[in-house]
């Protein structure tokens, strides 16, 4: 199963992924024109900030089995077997909200979207950008991410690679005693240090 894997320690809250997602799901697929479209396109990925000044890009996990698919009374949500992703039949969606109620990650939103030349309130969730991924490209959010917080690939291979790197780092710690387990680029380290200092100042007030 291919998916978008999140490396939360690398997210800086720039929201580039949200913009890229909205543009990809716009009618024009062009940022300049998308800003003036009616209805205005909305993102399927949501970057939220915590009280600790860290951020997390939250999106549909395409669960298997998917509670949203099982609860949908009209069959609007379905699993695409070819891509193993949860997708939507927009003509069947009645915006009842049942899928949002059972989503364990709170990623389903409802808004106006253009369908078959009409405006309609419907479920707007991540679909892994089929117009891109079916032609060998990465989802828009992954392609735009400059810090590597989002990665596209087979989930088992991504986890395997991360596990191997973690094992190597643990081994180095055991040998040297001074190797950082989760090293980040210097600019991200500086950002995290600033965020911690700012949080400490806020806590003292």
Domains and CATH numbers, the chain: 2-152 (3.30.70.20), 159-204 (no CATH)
Distance CA 133, CA 66 (A): 21
The residues, any chain, with a CB within 8 Å of residue 25's CB and separated by 6 or more, are 41, 42, 43, 44, 113, 124
To 10 degrees, the CA torsion angle through 3, 85, 16, 90? 180
Q: 138: number of CA atoms within 13 Å, CB side?
A: 16
Distance CA 68, CA 78 (A): 9
> Any idea which residue has 């991360």 for tokens?
162
Query: Which two tokens mark 78?
Result: 């379905």
pLDDT tens string, the chain, 205 residues long: the values are: 799 999 988 999 999 999 999 999 999 999 999 999 998 999 999 999 887 778 999 999 999 999 999 999 999 999 999 999 999 999 999 999 999 999 999 999 999 998 887 889 999 999 999 999 999 999 999 999 999 999 999 989 988 887 887 777 777 767 766 555 556 778 888 888 888 887 777 777 7
pTM over 0.85: no
Asked if 92 and 44 touch (Cβ cutoff 8 Å), the reply is no
């Amino acid at each position: 199963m291919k998916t978008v894997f999140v490396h939360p320690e690398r997210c800086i809250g720039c929201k580039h992924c949200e913009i890229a997602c909205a543009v990809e799901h716009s009618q024009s697929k062009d940022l300049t024109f998308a800003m003036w479209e009616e209805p205005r396109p909305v993102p399927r990925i949501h970057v939220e900030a915590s009280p600790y000044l860290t951020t997390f890009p939250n999106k549909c996990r395409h669960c298997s089995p998917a509670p949203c698919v099982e609860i949908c009374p009209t069959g609007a949500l379905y699993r695409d077997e070819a891509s193993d992703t949860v997708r939507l039949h927009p003509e069947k969606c009645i915006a009842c909200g049942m899928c949002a109620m059972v989503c364990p990650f709170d990623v389903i939103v409802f808004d106006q979207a253009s369908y078959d030349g009409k405006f309609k309130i419907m479920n707007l969730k991540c679909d892994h950008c089929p117009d891109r991924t079916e032609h060998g490209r990465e989802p828009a959010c992954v392609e735009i991410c400059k810090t590597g917080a989002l990665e596209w690939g087979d989930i088992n291979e991504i986890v395997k690679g991360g596990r191997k790197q973690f094992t190597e780092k643990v081994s180095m710690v055991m040998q040297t005693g001074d190797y950082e387990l989760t090293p980040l680029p210097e600019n991200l380290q500086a950002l995290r240090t600033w965020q911690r200092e700012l949080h400490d100042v806020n806590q003292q007030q």
